[in-house]
Amino acid sequence: MRTIIKMMTAAILVAVAGCGNAQSPTLIPALERLAKSGNAEAIYYLGMAYQTGSGVGEDHAKALDAFRRAAELGDPLGAYKLGCYYAGQGAGLVTANAALALQYKLVAANAGYALAQQDVGILYAQDGDVPKGLGWLEKSAAQGWSGGLMTLASVYNGAAGVKPDAAKTAAYFRLFLARSEPDDKQTAWLENFEEQLSSGDKARAGEIVGRYRPMPTALTIKALSGQRAAEALVKATATR
């Protein structure tokens, strides 16, 4: 299981809230006009554009400044990205600070962003508060976030401070595989693990999977929409 998790870590930690690469040439100027008026969401999208080099030259210093401004104006996704910079993404721009990373990511987690909930859960668990960490991971998993599901499977497979639960390990990993692109090793691992389950654990795992109904929040959907959400913002403000 640990090997499988190491294989998936890079993919799960990729920020999915980008503006996309193929975009209208009018999008960035429109966002810049909104940003000048103090629109926090537009400032966040500009930050993502600078971070990814989408429609503008890649510039992480400008991205950091935009995320900081967006967070100060109350944008939860801006706060999340600012937290990412303090979590190590801002090497050479800011000093890594776990407390600030948690502080800013909590803003987005409380607002309902599934990736932030996953990150906060991991941060709390790493800091020794396993029950609080589990609570946040469960919130992330409840939205259908694959990283939250995979992390829960790992935790219940034997993380420090948590009683192992084979049924939950199997159920959450199966749900994770259903929302990702599994390779043969991952599929084989789960099949082997499930073969070793007791009849009771098999039944309980099946119940967990059977009653699972992911419910992503509006903020998570917006983050996943990336450029489409930026374009929707521009369109909505143009009609006011």
- Return all residues near 141 (Cβ < 8 A) that are at least 6 apart: 148, 149, 152, 172, 175
Q: Check pLDDT > 60 for residue 16.
A: no
- Establish if 127 belongs to a structural domain: no
- The model's confidence at residue 238, banded by pLDDT at 50, 70 and 90, is confident
The arithmetic mean of pLDDT across residues 127-132, rounded, is 91
- Establish if 9 belongs to a structural domain: no
- The model's confidence at residue 222, banded by pLDDT at 50, 70 and 90, is very high
Answer yes or no: do 107 and 33 share one domain: yes
- Establish if 22 belongs to a structural domain: yes
- The model's confidence at residue 24, banded by pLDDT at 50, 70 and 90, is confident
The whole-model pTM stands at 0.88
Q: How many CA atoms lie within 13 A of 106 on its CB side?
A: 10
Answer yes or no: do 40 and 153 share one domain: no
- Establish if 182 belongs to a structural domain: yes
CATH of the domain at 82: 1.25.40.10
- The model's confidence at residue 20, banded by pLDDT at 50, 70 and 90, is very low
Structure tokens, 229 = 């959400």
Per-residue confidence (pLDDT) for residue 23, from 0 to 100: 63
Q: Check pLDDT > 50 for residue 19.
A: no
Answer yes or no: do 94 and 183 share one domain: no
The arithmetic mean of pLDDT across residues 99-115, rounded, is 98
Q: Residue 229: give the domain boundaries.
A: 15-112+217-240
- The model's confidence at residue 59, banded by pLDDT at 50, 70 and 90, is very high
Answer yes or no: do 211 and 222 share one domain: no
Answer yes or no: do 83 and 161 share one domain: no
- Return all residues near 110 (Cβ < 8 A) that are at least 6 apart: 76
- Establish if 4 belongs to a structural domain: no
Q: Check pLDDT > 80 for residue 68.
A: yes
- Yes or no: say if 115 and 81 are a contact pair by the CB < 8 Å rule: no
Total of domains in the chain: 2
Q: Check pLDDT > 90 for residue 138.
A: yes
